[in-house]
Amino acid sequence: MYGEELAEVYELVYRSRGKNWAEEAHDVAKVIRARLPEADSLLDVACGTGAHLATFRESFARAEGLEIAEPMRRLARRRLPGVRITAGDMRDFDLGRRFDAVCCMFCAIGYLSTVAELRAAAACMARHLTPGGVLVVEPWWFPERFIEGYVAADLAQEGGRAVARMSHSTRQGDATRMEVRFLVGDSAGIREFTEIDVLTLFTREQYTAAFTDAGCDVEYLEGGPTGRGLFVGIRR
């Protein structure tokens, strides 16, 4: 997942679906400042290509990213020279410094396989918060909202490149198995690749328990950037 081929077309595809990273980052910054007005440092966990982080660095005096996938991390560093982007796994990282806010956006948390991993990630992120700091996590779908056999299709075209994306989702135990096929055309020709994404359908109660046991008071906000809501924790 998130290899070279996907990294190359990632933002083009999601722009075509209406995703606005700058607007989402502004909204998350508002959520953070509503709870901690003096917040001036932020860590973006699973920062991807740095699309959210580009706006976060304008809103916070110190903004950093953490990303496990090297192709995505490389693009983030190219976009944001001078911004610290660290290689790391959300389940087990230690930066040796704390932040007023930590966020994990665009359902990246769903790629964790078990409740134990969810709890480990929540604890790790919470440990990087200052007392009173804010933890914001955008979840994957809850089990009751999963649609068996869901199909999505998109066509993006920009700067001499066209990308067709089609996905099909099925239930695999407590997870979504999403097969995603891409067809990419540009001046070099047409190529095809497939990604298999497995995202765990954690329950609302499991997220809440993970936040609580990590030492955070937690609330769930409906809606959010993609309709899946946001979990917002305050470190006690």
- The reply to whether the predicted model has a pTM over 0.85 is yes
**What per-residue confidence (pLDDT) applies to 1?**
73
Question: Which helix (H) or strand (E) element contains residue 197?
Answer: strand 189-200
pLDDT at 125 over 80: yes
Work out the burial of residue 193: count CB atoms within 10 Å of its CB; fewer than 13 is exposed, 13-18 middle, 19 or more buried.
Answer: middle
pLDDT at 5 over 90: yes
> What are 161-205's pLDDT values in tens digits?
999 999 999 999 999 999 999 999 999 999 999 999 999 999 999
Residues in CB range of 150: below 8 A, 6 or more apart: 167, 168, 169
For residues 226-232, average pLDDT:
98
DSSP structure class, residue 223: S
User: Is 154 within 8 Å of 182 (Cβ atoms)?
Assistant: no
Report the chain's mean pLDDT, rounded to a whole number. Answer: 98
For residues 111-138, average pLDDT:
98
CATH 3.40.50.150 range(s) for the chain read 4-142+203-235
For residues 67-94, average pLDDT:
98
> For a pLDDT cut of 70, what percent of the chain falls above it?
100
> What are 204-219's pLDDT values in tens digits?
999 999 999 999 999 9
4-142+203-235 is classed in which CATH architecture?
3-Layer(aba) Sandwich (3.40)
**What per-residue confidence (pLDDT) applies to 193?**
97
CATH 2.20.130.10 range(s) for the chain read 144-200
**What per-residue confidence (pLDDT) applies to 191?**
98
Q: CA 72 to CA 135: how far, in whole Å?
A: 23
pLDDT at 117 over 90: yes
146 pLDDT band, cuts 50/70/90, is: very high
Q: CA 78 to CA 74: how far, in whole Å?
A: 6
pLDDT at 120 over 90: yes
Residue located via tokens 């918060």: 129
**Domain 144-200, classified CATH 2.20.130.10, yes or no:** yes
> For a pLDDT cut of 90, what percent of the chain falls above it?
99
